[in-house]
Amino acid sequence: MLGKSRIFELNGYDPFLDYVKGICIFFVILAHNLPQQDLFLFPFWGDQAVPCFLLIQVFHVYKRGININSKIDVRKIFKRIILPFLVVSMVSAFLLYVTSDLSFMQVLEKGLAAGGYGPGSYYIWVYLQFVLLIPLCRYIFIYASGYKLLAIFVLISVLIELLCSHFHPSAIIYRLLFLRYFFLIYLGYMLTVEKVNTIELLLLNVLSLVFIFLFYYSECDFEPFFFDNDWKIFHWIIYFYTASGFLYILRVSYHLAPAKLLKLVKCMGTYSYEIFLSQMFVFAFLRPDYLSFLKNWHINIGLIYISLTIILSIFPILIYKGYKR
């Protein structure tokens, strides 16, 4: 996978990543309010949002090179990631308790089982597992490179698939684990530290596209080589497509002229984590059936609900953060 060009700006924070994050957080919201996603070919674009966020997470760790002595900034992670999540979770739990017939223990059990309240709560737990995994993977990157490095990560990923196919972890547990995303650490490293051969990546991208189609739209049984579960497309072999799409969006963003819409997208990327927590809260309490009093259900779900959840998830955060300034 060695090649001709490096993708990221390694000196400081690459501001163009915010464009990618802005698009991805919008896709995350659509993942939770868009009906009949298979008709919109959602696996080929919307389902790539979380993997792109994880690629960016790998970039932030490896952008200054491989230093096995670097320490995890526990205080920063707690303040930036864990504390806001806990606050949103506690507020959600309190509101759920006072607005429903559930007992305190039932509310607590509901939150613990899902990893939080609202869709996407698994992401925080996967993120924290990546915080621990990415530094450990440095040891692999130090002692292997090129196709040998690729082979190591493919073998580990295949082993994960085989073990999951054999033991069949419950959906609740599997949802909160990093397993389906592990291969992204390799791709994030290659995009950040090494020079990527874009021709090779594009060829592997075609292979990924074929498997995305087979995983999502066919009835093929790929076990034990690919674990059959509710996360249909999320297997190591599809992430070459994720990396290609991520690379394309990032490179396009380098040539974008400033405009109000682009400013909005960039601002959404800057505050993507806050918007992510906001959409969790919105979807936890605003369900489509609340609009059932409207006569036309298709207009209800297709226009009003989608528009309302997008607005409530994004704009309160941007206003609070001073977007208008």
Question: Where in the chain are the domains?
Answer: 2-320
Dist. CA 21–CA 272, nearest whole Å: 6
What does the block give as tokens for 186? 């390799």
Residue 302: predicted pLDDT: 73
Say if pTM beats, i.e. exceeds, 0.75: yes
- Give the number of other CB atoms < 10 A from CB of residue 220: 10
Dist. CA 85–CA 114, nearest whole Å: 13
More confident residue, 300 or 88: 88
Calculate the alpha carbon distances from 156 to 151, 159, 163, 171 in Å: 9, 5, 11, 21
Q: Answer whether 4's CB lies under 8 Å from 195's CB.
A: yes
Sign of dihedral through CA atoms 74, 76, 80, 84?
positive
Residue 296: predicted pLDDT: 67
Dist. CA 82–CA 133, nearest whole Å: 17
Residue 3: predicted pLDDT: 43
At CA 50, angle to CA 107 and CA 201, rounded to 5? 160
| Amino acid identity for residue 309 in this structure | T
* pLDDT over 60 at 325, yes or no: no
Calculate the alpha carbon distances from 235 to 94, 183, 208, 215, 227 in Å: 36, 8, 10, 9, 8
Closest CA to 179 of 190, 193, 163: 163
Q: Which long-range contacts (CB under 8 A, 24 or more apart) does 56-59 make?
A: 56/17, 56/20, 56/21, 56/188, 57/127, 57/130, 57/134, 57/188, 58/130, 58/134, 58/184, 58/185, 58/187, 58/188, 58/189, 58/192, 59/8, 59/14, 59/17, 59/188, 59/191, 59/192
Contacts of 262 (CB under 8 A, 6+ apart): 19, 256
Q: Answer whether 102's CB lies under 8 Å from 110's CB.
A: yes
CA count, 13 A, side-chain hemisphere, 51? 30
Q: How far is CA 104 from the centre of its chain?
A: 31
Dist. CA 94–CA 88, nearest whole Å: 10
Q: Answer whether 2's CB lies under 8 Å from 195's CB.
A: yes
Dist. CA 229–CA 206, nearest whole Å: 23
Quote the DSSP letter at residue 258: P
- The string of pLDDT tens digits covering residues 86-145 is 999 999 999 999 998 999 999 999 998 889 999 999 999 999 999 999 999 999 998 898
Residue 238: predicted pLDDT: 97
**pLDDT interval class at 154 (50, 70, 90):** very high
267: enclosing H helix or E strand: helix 260-270
More confident residue, 43 or 9: 43
- The string of pLDDT tens digits covering residues 47-95 is 999 999 999 999 988 887 776 666 788 999 999 999 999 999 999 999 9
Calculate the alpha carbon distances from 222 to 54, 173, 199, 205 in Å: 25, 21, 28, 19
Closest CA to 60 of 124, 106, 90, 17: 17
Lowest mean pLDDT among 7-16, 197-206, 228-237: 7-16
Lowest mean pLDDT among 224-228, 261-265, 295-299: 295-299
Residue 294: predicted pLDDT: 67
